Amino acid sequence: MILQLRRQVDSLFSTKYEALGLSQPCKVPYSKFQMYPEELYVTGLPPGISLRRPNCFGVAKLKKILAVSSEIQFVIKSELLTEQVKSELPSIPDSGTEQKNYHV
């Protein structure tokens, strides 16, 4: 059961991150979220839960994340950081805005 929940949350995070404009789901660069918490973050997660790899969560937290899946948004505030994140991914179109709220 927990493996299935982890896969569902991993897919959810990848799909939400895909809203950056990628043509396919991709792995979320969790380390970037830890290195730049003021510029790159997620909103809509349940209270007390921060973005981590799904294998860091137990069943209860995984279920809470899935319950609020429609509210989860990835936010990139800095255009410079947007370009840095994009440079490590398949090529995607440049939207040219200062702050971006990406959600599906």
What is the tally of structural domains in the chain?
A: 1
Tell me the pTM.
0.75
State how far the Cα of 99 lies from the Cα of 63, in Å rounded to an integer.
30
For 41, list phi and psi in degrees, rounded to 5: -155, 175
Which of 8-12, 13-17, 36-40, 89-93 is least confident? Answer: 89-93
| DSSP state for residue 44 in the 8-state scheme | S
Range of the domain at 39: 1-80
12 in any annotated domain:
yes
7 in any annotated domain:
yes
Taking only the tens place, the pLDDT of each residue in 29-65 is: 898 889 988 888 999 999 999 999 999 999 999 999 9
**Tokens standing for residue 80:** 């410079």
Residue 21: give its domain's CATH number.
3.90.1460.10
Q: What is the pLDDT of the chain when averaged over all its residues?
A: 80
Distances 64 to 9, 70, 72, 84, 90 between C-alpha atoms, Å: 10, 12, 12, 31, 31
